[in-house]
């Protein structure tokens, strides 16, 4: 990313308001079960997020707030290779000149950032890295395919991992968050290891369908009285909201001070390449 200063749910599934194809997002809902499935749909780019896609996803979460037929949501990525790899590297994000603030289009990517307190389950296929944690960090729980991997590439490319690390610190032990954030692209966390450290609540054999498993769980939750479900979501999140909010308040300054220039980031990205050279644990 250039930081510069200056599938259907099931039978009877109904597509929500038409989404522009270029946005790279699909939102479908099943009126019979009350479950909506939101799919990041750019598999050729590892479901990396564009500015249009980020805006459309934020609008989708806000739309679900007013749609009483949607009682639980699954968010996933198209294809088997990746859930999401953060913001697209070709995206240019203009920044204000002040070193005390940044504009991050991913800050409104998740459901909680858009005041949606209906339960959201993340169904992770393949890679989940970098900006994917904005979504994973605001899901109630994560179900992962056996071949899924998790990693945070920021430090490798001269960027501060702040918002992502803070989000993961709400779900994982301190040492595991620090290790993943600091090891960059040198190491990937397997689905099994993610389950052991609490990032993932269930691992599904790759051939069995992680989306189907997530939809089953969402359908169960959606069948319960919605007021009790949403109240429980708020109660669980209230346990960590204060600490999370205070930590997020420091993130912009740390990024502004610690990020390498866009040119240096691009050079690091080009020199290190996109694949290989890592271990999975």
Determine the Cα–Cα distance for residues 212 and 33; give it in Å rounded to an integer. 13
Q: Which residues pair with 142 in a beta bridge?
A: 122
Which run of H or of E encompasses 90?
Answer: none
pTM of the model: 0.84
In a domain, 114, yes or no: yes
Separation in Å, CA 130 to CA 10, 28, 119, 167, 219: 31, 26, 23, 11, 29
Q: What is the CATH number of the domain that holds 56?
A: 3.90.226.10
Q: Which domain holds residue 43?
A: 2-210+225-280
CB 151 within 8 A of CB 185: yes
Determine the Cα–Cα distance for residues 277 and 273; give it in Å rounded to an integer. 9
* pLDDT score recorded for residue 48: 93
Determine the Cα–Cα distance for residues 179 and 256; give it in Å rounded to an integer. 22
CB 124 within 8 A of CB 145: yes
Determine the Cα–Cα distance for residues 224 and 219; give it in Å rounded to an integer. 9
In a domain, 46, yes or no: yes
Determine the Cα–Cα distance for residues 105 and 109; give it in Å rounded to an integer. 7
The 3 state secondary structure assigned to 86-142 is CECCCCEEEECCCCCCCCCHHHHCCCHHHCCCCCEEEEECCEEECCHHHHHCCCCEE
In a domain, 220, yes or no: no
Q: Which residues pair with 4 in a beta bridge?
A: 94
* pLDDT score recorded for residue 106: 83
What is the pLDDT tens value at each position of the chain, 281 positions in all?
443 333 344 444 444 444 444 579 999 999 999 999 999 999 999 999 999 999 999 999 999 999 999 999 999 999 999 999 998 877 777 767 776 777 777 888 999 999 999 999 999 999 999 989 999 999 999 999 999 999 999 999 888 888 898 889 989 999 999 999 999 999 999 999 999 999 999 999 986 799 999 999 999 999 999 999 999 999 999 887 767 677 667 767 676 777 777 788 778 777 876 555 788 88
In a domain, 205, yes or no: yes
* pLDDT score recorded for residue 276: 59
Determine the Cα–Cα distance for residues 102 and 104; give it in Å rounded to an integer. 6
Determine the Cα–Cα distance for residues 235 and 229; give it in Å rounded to an integer. 10
In a domain, 103, yes or no: yes
In a domain, 186, yes or no: yes
Number of structural domains, the chain? Answer: 1
In a domain, 216, yes or no: no
Which run of H or of E encompasses 76?
Answer: strand 72-77
Other residues' Cβ atoms within 10 Å of the Cβ of residue 94: 10
In a domain, 215, yes or no: no
Separation in Å, CA 20 to CA 8, 41, 52, 114: 17, 12, 10, 21
């Amino acid at each position: 990313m250039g930081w510069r200063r200056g599938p259907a749910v099931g039978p009877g599934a109904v597509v929500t308001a038409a989404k522009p194809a270029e946005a790279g997002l699909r939102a479908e809902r099943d009126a019979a079960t009350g479950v909506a499935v939101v799919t990041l749909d750019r598999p050729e780019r590892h479901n990396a997020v564009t500015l249009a896609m980020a805006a459309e996803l934020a609008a989708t979460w806000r739309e679900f707030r007013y749609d009483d037929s949607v009682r639980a949501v699954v968010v996933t990525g198209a294809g088997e290779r990746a859930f999401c790899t953060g913001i697209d590297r070709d995206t240019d994000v203009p920044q204000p000149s002040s070193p005390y603030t940044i504009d991050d289009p991913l800050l409104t990517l998740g459901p909680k950032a858009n005041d949606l307190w209906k339960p959201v389950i993340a169904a992770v296929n393949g890679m989940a890295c970098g900006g994917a944690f904005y979504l994973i960090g605001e899901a109630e729980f994560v179900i992962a395919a056996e071949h899924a991997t998790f990693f945070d590439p920021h430090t490798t490319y001269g960027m501060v991992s702040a918002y992502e690390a803070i989000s993961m610190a709400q779900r994982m032990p301190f040492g595991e968050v620090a290790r993943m954030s600091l090891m960059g692209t040198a190491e990937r966390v397997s689905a099994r290891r993610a389950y052991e450290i609490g990032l993932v609540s269930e691992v599904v054999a790759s051939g069995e369908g992680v989306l189907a498993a997530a939809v089953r769980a969402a359908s169960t939750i959606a069948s319960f009285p919605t007021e009790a479900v949403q109240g429980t979501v708020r109660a669980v999140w209230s346990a960590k909201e204060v600490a999370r909010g205070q930590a997020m308040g420091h993130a912009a300054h740390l990024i502004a001070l610690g990020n390498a220039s866009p040119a240096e980031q691009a050079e690091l990205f080009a020199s290190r390449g996109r694949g290989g050279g890592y271990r999975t644990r």
